[in-house]
């Protein structure tokens, strides 16, 4: 793969060009903002913080463009829930920097076998300090602890199997909307599975069955909540 340096304005077009359209997305640690870059048939959101889960459920309840499934689970718990090659693409948007580096590396290595197509990561370029001493986050919720930054990442942290798109100046404000003294960089890291292992009619049949099961689980959860 390789490393491509871009301007902030070029980052999103490059990402959209690199992403493959897929039916099943696992969106880990999405907070209250599910990834908007792909529109799958089934969008599974794994979020560990109860307040975020409640907000997520409210936001996706009336969405008609896909089937949403909201699970209360950490990244580590998600790895136990999903068997190998059970989802097409995993998104980790603003997630890895919230963990100590060795823990994130371990979880990332265990995540790669889950996917049939891609693992997609977004993170600041380097360590961007982020603290919430009062416990409140940018949305006024009590998720400050979950928003702490514990590690910094650069292109050198990914091997040659990853495609990196990076901008040295991307963030112009912190997560609370306060202007930064100097723009801070960001990167997208995308790993595409060389052999998706999904040719033939049987794979399509299995995918359809999976989508039906997930849809039924979501509908049952909606009925219990309502």
pLDDT above 50 for 199 = no
Residue 128 contacts residue 153 (beta carbons within 8 Å): no
Which residues form the domain of 11? 2-225
Burial category of 43 from C-beta neighbours within 10 Å (exposed 0-12, middle 13-18, buried 19 and up): buried
**73 or 199, higher pLDDT:** 73
Alpha-carbon span 184 to 191, nearest angstrom: 24
The domain total for the chain is 1
Alpha-carbon span 24 to 19, nearest angstrom: 13
**Would you place residue 143 in the very low, low, confident or very high pLDDT band (cuts 50, 70, 90)?**
confident
Q: What angle do CA 55, 61, 67 make, to 5 degrees?
A: 115
Mean pLDDT along residues 5-12: 98
User: Which CATH number does the domain housing residue 211 bear?
Assistant: 3.40.50.150
- pTM of this prediction? 0.84
């Amino acid at each position: 793969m390789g490393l491509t340096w871009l301007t902030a304005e070029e980052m999103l077009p490059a990402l959209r060009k690199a992403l493959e359209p897929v039916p099943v997305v696992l969106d880990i640690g999405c907070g209250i903002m599910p990834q908007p870059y792909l529109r799958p048939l089934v969008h599974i959101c794994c979020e560990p913080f109860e307040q975020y889960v409640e907000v997520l459920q409210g936001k996706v309840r009336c969405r008609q463009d896909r089937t949403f499934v909201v699970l209360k689970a950490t990244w580590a718990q998600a790895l136990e829930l999903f068997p190998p090659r059970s989802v097409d693409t995993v998104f980790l948007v603003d997630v890895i920097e919230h963990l100590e580096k060795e823990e994130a590396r371990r979880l990332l290595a265990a995540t790669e076998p889950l996917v049939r197509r891609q693992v997609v990561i977004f993170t600041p370029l380097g360590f961007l300090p982020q603290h919430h001493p009062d416990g409140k986050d940018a949305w006024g919720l009590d998720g400050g602890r979950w928003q702490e930054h514990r590690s910094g990442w650069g292109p050198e942290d990914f091997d040659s199997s990853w495609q990196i798109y990076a901008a040295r100046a991307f963030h112009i404000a912190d997560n609370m909307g306060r202007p930064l003294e100097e723009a801070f960089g960001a990167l997208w890291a995308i790993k595409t599975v060389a052999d998706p292992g999904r040719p033939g009619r049987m794979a399509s049949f299995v995918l359809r069955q999976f989508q039906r099961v997930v849809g039924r689980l979501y509908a049952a959860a909606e009925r219990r909540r309502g």
